[in-house]
A and B are shown apart, each in its own frame.
Chain A
Amino acid sequence: MRKLLTTLASAAALGLVLSAPVQAKDTLTVGVQVPTTGSEATYGTDMYNAMKIAADEINAKGGVLGKKIELTTGDSACDPQQSVNAASKLASQDVVGVVGGYCSGATLPTLKIYGDNNVPFVIVAANSTKLIPANPGNAFMINSTGFDQVKKAVGFFEKKGVKSLAIVNQGDAYSQDLANLTRNQWEKDGHKVAAYETVSKGEQSFASLVTKIKSSGADAVFWTAYYADGGLLIRQLRQGGFRGIIAVGDGSNSPKLFEIAGRAAEGVYGFSNPTADFLPEAKGFIKSYKDQFGNAPGPYAPLAYDGMHLLAWAIDKAGSTDHDAIEKALASVDGQSWLTGPISFTDKNTLARSNFIILKGEGGHWTLESK
């Protein structure tokens, strides 16, 4: 009897699966790969919201190829394993393309999946140089890469008269890459690296590291990883009596840094991609973001917004949802500009110009130090 029941139940389940209607779709599904849980969830949600605004704008104007854009999320959780699952899920969902990619470490392994399935992938935030050789040709990076940030950072430290620099990263693809490139460039320019340290993710106490940095004679610290642990390090550096310059990479450019680090974040410098507050073109975007979500857009919102528009533009130009045609259209983009400035790609599919600016923490938020 029980066996019969089981058979019946499985048959019913199978029937359900098979009878799922195969209907002609009047929407285009775009995959969104961002971390919506985990330590970087703030950024991920923010990027998703920005893409939602872009998609709504496009849909309000009649959509692309006469079809409305529909978003489907894959949660990368800023974790290589989870992002591979998310990418496989998106690739199997018949998406016209994927927009997203925040943590470089989590984006790296997804390149192969999208490459194998030939899915056009607009990488909006992730910018580790390790992504460049791993790109099978179907991914396009609209953020300036680590190389551009290194140049900006080294130039800044030199201008501030820094003699001996301590570089701290978190051992993931993005922060290690930035740290390593900075070290090489800094040493090449004839300066001293006082300490080069890697901390484990999720570590709470940096006290002994702070002592090591202090005793190494460093007069500046460069944190190349994300805000969650960056806020903690800044706080403990100041608590531990470190008086030198502190600068953080673009991964730490979040208002949350000030919540976690508190007063210690005053006077901290940050290298950043163009954030909405410092983009004259973004006034309307900031307003609709605030109206819809109740808070200001975060640092990667404009890039995410541009990424969605870029994909829609490319589909429109290709005139079809054929993946090869969309990729060809993406490669041909020539100075199209939405919020973050003109987009065109090098032959390696990276952004053809540098978009970094320098920020300074003042009064509990970032202010523009120099372009």
Chain B
Amino acid sequence: MRTPEERTTTMSFTDIFLQQLINGLVLGSFYALVALGYTMIFGVIKLLNFAHGDVYMVGAFVGFGALSLVAGTFGAGWAGIFVAMVISMIVVGFLGVIIEQAAYRPMLNAPRLSILITALAVSLVLENSALALTDGQITAFNTDLGFNGIELGNLYVSYTQVVLVVASFILMIALELFVSRTMYGKAMRAISIDKDMCRLMGINVQRVIAVTFFVGSALAAAAGTMAGVQYGRIWYFMGFLIGLKAFTAAVIGGIGSITGAMLGGLILGLLESFATQIPGIGGEWKDVFTFGVLILVLVLKPTGLLGKSEVERM
């Protein structure tokens, strides 16, 4: 039995600041990974893909299933998790392509509102399928990872957090290279500027759109699997809140901009972390504070931090 003194930790102002900075980075990198999918899909077909949060949820479940399958061979430690994540990224990437082909492609020339409603429908289909398949039960996502971590004075980062942040940064850098260095990336950027002109120039627009959905969904699946590993719990409704927040992150950064989505995700994560700590704001007001800042950003810079202004025609 510990005495009350042994049970408490005294943290200085710097400790608190650094610890919340770390917390914000971890949270922010999740938001950023999901926000990337939003922003890429918006970039190529100007669609706010509201089903994206649910793709993240499906990614978590596929990752969980894959981990149970490969745990025998690779164990449920880092090796198993890595393999499960890759499987989940591939499976869910193809799911994204199927969603695009089945639900969005026939609507590409319809009014923008119709395709937006289709996205909501896809979201409900995914969510309710998961609800039916899991009976609405919460599934515990168990791994062999312990609670060990790096302790620096009063600061504490678990190894899981470190690996997850590093992994998401690697994914983000890979995506950045993909978009800026490869032919597909170049085509993606061209399509986001003028789809019809790209078609005239002989670019296979449909295929590039499919690739975009694949990559965006795969990133969401990676984030979903990581969230399962980090938080140890998955359920059919887990995509809703993060879908909203990632969308917000994409808007803060300037929707359509890839660097913007990463920046927006990190800013949102940091804002949430620090808002929790501010006396008088606390946990219950942190969303009010965070979204208040969002409104402020949009008032001062309507296109988001890194967004380009463009003439909107609905």
Contact = CB atoms under 8 A, between A and B. Distances in A.
Nearest to A227: B138
A242 to B, nearest CB: 8
B227 interface: yes
Given A39-B138, A232-B231, A203 B241 contact: yes
A41 interface: yes
Interface in A183-218: 195, 197-200, 202-205, 207-212, 214-215, 217-218
Nearest to A264: B147
Chain B interface SS verdict (over half): helix
A323 B30 CA distance: 54
A65 interface: no
Contact of A202 (B24, B147, B237, B274): B237
A171 interface: yes
B241 A217 contact: no
B283 A209 contact: yes
Interface in B1-29: 2-11, 15-16, 19-20, 23-24, 26-27
A260 interface: yes
A339 to B, nearest CB: 26
B8 A260 contact: no
Contact of B9 (A38, A228, A243, A256): A243
Contacts of B135: 37, 41
A232 B140 CA distance: 10
A207 B273 contact: yes
B16 A41 contact: no
Interface string B224-240: 00010001110101101
A71 interface: no
A238 interface: yes
A170 to B, nearest CB: 10
Given A42-B137, A207-B27, A235-B231, A171 B284 contact: yes
B233 A212 contact: no
Contact of B231 (A36, A168, A204, A241): A204
Contacts of B131: 37
A217 B238 contact: no
Among B30, B274, B283, which residue has the most Cβ atoms of chain A within 10 A? B283
A260 B274 CA distance: 26
Contact of A204 (B4, B140, B154, B227): B227
Contacts, number: 145
Nearest to A171: B284
Given A211-B19, A219-B7, A244-B7, A204 B284 contact: no
Interface string A217-232: 1111000000010011
A22 to B, nearest CB: 34
A351 interface: no
A263 interface: yes
Contacts of B227: 204
Contact of B8 (A36, A41, A217, A259): A217
A68 to B, nearest CB: 28
25 contacts: A41-B136, A42-B137, A197-B282, A198-B283, A202-B240, A205-B26, A208-B274, A208-B276, A208-B277, A212-B276, A217-B8, A220-B7, A228-B138, A232-B232, A235-B231, A238-B147, A241-B151, A243-B2, A243-B9, A245-B7, A260-B232, A261-B232, A262-B142, A263-B147, A264-B147
Interface of A: 36-39, 41-42, 161-164, 168, 171, 195, 197-200, 202-205, 207-212, 214-215, 217-220, 228, 231-232, 235-236, 238-245, 256, 259-264
A-B pairs, 7 with minimum CB distance? A259-B140, A198-B284, A37-B136, A207-B23, A219-B7, A244-B7, A208-B273
